[in-house]
Amino acid sequence: MKNNKAVSVLIQEQLKWTLWFIGILYLVRIGVYFLGDFSQEPELTELVFLNFAYDPSKIYMLVIGLMSVYMFLGFCIEHGLTRKHYYQAAALSATALALFITALIILIAVIDSFIFGTDPAAFHLIEAGTTAGSLAASFPAYFITVFMYYVLGMFVNSGFYRFGWIAGLGFVAAGFFFLLIESLIWGTYYAVFNIGVLTEGLSALPAVLATVVLTAIIYSASAAVIKDTPVKIE
């Protein structure tokens, strides 16, 4: 019962932010289209919303994952919940949020294709096929990557929350390492300090499964840090 309360609070608060995020993101997408139309740059007018929203969605989930520990851990303790309640609730709310973002962005991509004549299924992580097949394959790929970024944000901030700034920088370094692993899994370009890495990556199903394993490792590490950490209550 207590855990349900925590999940409900986390979802409600973060859902408000998410609706604003997606609304603003689509307004930017419309602006980019008309900018491309005005400047006669086809790469802007033919931009697929799935691809346009992918990196901003990952950054957004990373940011609210970072905020989650500071905003909601103390809240849970103040209301008689435990640290375990918090990180279980955070995982469940992040799952719900990632599902919502993925479903809504795919829906918008389909609607967007009718408005702007783009291919709704041309997601760069998935090999092209039928529209339905590509969208079906895009869903788990999109979901697990944005979910991983939320968990990564929790992991990094849990280090700062418990150990302070100096040790927290070690968690940032570990976060960069996890991002390198994610880029190797999906074959996306990754660069730190002008040193870039690009590989072919895995095919869709193995990549999804590998990302699930990576996410579980990051989440377990974050939960272990939070488990015994002193909680700051204002």
Residue 191: is its pLDDT beyond 80?
A: no
Q: What is the pLDDT of residue 99?
A: 96
Q: What is the pLDDT of residue 74?
A: 79
Instruction: Judge if pTM exceeds 0.85.
Output: yes
Q: What is the pLDDT of residue 1?
A: 46
Burial class (CB in 10 A: 0-12, 13-18, 19+), 98: buried
- List the beta bridge partners of residue 107: none
Q: For residues 93-111, give the mean pLDDT.
A: 93
End-to-end CA distance of the chain: 25
| Domains in the chain: boundaries | 2-227
Contacts of residue 121, defined as CB under 8 A and 6 or more positions apart, other chains included, come to: 50, 128, 129, 130, 131, 132, 133, 134, 135, 138
Q: What is the pLDDT of residue 145?
A: 95
Structure tokens at 208: 């999804």
| Of residues 207 and 81, more confidently modeled | 207
Residue 132: is its pLDDT beyond 80?
A: no
| Of residues 98 and 47, more confidently modeled | 98
Q: What is the pLDDT of residue 44?
A: 62
Q: What's the pLDDT band for 82 if we cut at 50, 70, 90? A: confident
CA proximity to 3, closest of 96, 100, 92: 92
* Whole-angstrom distance, CA of residue 133 vs CA of residue 126: 10
Q: For residues 175-198, give the mean pLDDT.
A: 78
CA proximity to 58, closest of 205, 183, 221, 222: 183
Residue 46: is its pLDDT beyond 80?
A: no
Residue 13: is its pLDDT beyond 50?
A: yes
Residue 125: is its pLDDT beyond 60?
A: yes
